């Protein structure tokens, strides 16, 4: 069975079990391994992608639910806030082991795309579902502020 949707701006049809989590459809069927598998239970945030611009956990999202919708993964980030987030991540040397960072960046980008000047509380609320084993949280917070500052008009 196949599912058609927009993946990173391109019309895509994946021939896979519609119950397969989007995470595995993206990683193994579409061949985009930037999105990570951490827990498989929406508890860690490593698998975060955007569905119609909103940050979701792809490990618990069946492929069938994205039919006809827009999915963006770390490989497809292109918006100004996304580029600002990635630049801030490099500038502030956020990643350590790096495994959670695709998910962190997807959550941070979804936040800035809807709220270009987030408060501390906004950041807490947007990022609370993304855990980091290296505890890079303080740099993540600083990088989100830096990214927000850099896209200020």
Interface residues with another protein (CB under 8 A)? 17, 20-21, 24, 27-28, 31-38, 40, 44, 46, 73-75, 77, 86, 89-90, 93-102, 105, 131-134
Query: Which is nearer to another protein, 17 or 113 (by Cβ)?
Result: 17
Dist. CA 115–CA 131, nearest whole Å: 21
CB of 135 to another protein, least distance (A): 10
Calculate the alpha carbon distances from 31 to 44, 86, 93, 143 in Å: 22, 22, 27, 29
Minimum CB distance to another protein smaller for 119 or for 136: 136
Minimum distance from residue 121 beta carbon to another protein (Å) = 25
Q: Residue 110 in contact with residue 54, Cβ under 8 Å?
A: yes
| Closest separation in Å from C-beta 149 to another protein | 18
**Closest distance of CB 145 from another protein, Å:** 16
């Amino acid at each position: 069975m196949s599912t058609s949707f927009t993946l990173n701006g391109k019309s895509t049809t994946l021939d896979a079990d519609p119950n397969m989590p989007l995470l595995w459809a993206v990683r193994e069927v579409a061949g985009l391994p930037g999105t990570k598998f951490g827990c498989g239970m929406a508890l860690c945030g490593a698998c975060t992608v955007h569905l119609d611009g909103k940050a979701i956990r792809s490990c618990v999202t069946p492929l069938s639910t994205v039919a006809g919708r827009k999915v963006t993964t770390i490989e497809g980030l292109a918006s100004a806030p996304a580029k600002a987030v990635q630049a801030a991540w490099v500038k502030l040397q956020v990643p350590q082991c790096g495994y959670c960072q695709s998910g962190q960046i997807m959550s941070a980008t979804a936040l800035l795309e809807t709220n270009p000047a987030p408060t501390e509380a906004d950041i807490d609320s947007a990022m609370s579902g993304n855990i980091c084993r290296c505890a890079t949280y303080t740099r993540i917070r600083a990088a989100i502020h830096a990214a927000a500052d850099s896209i200020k008009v």
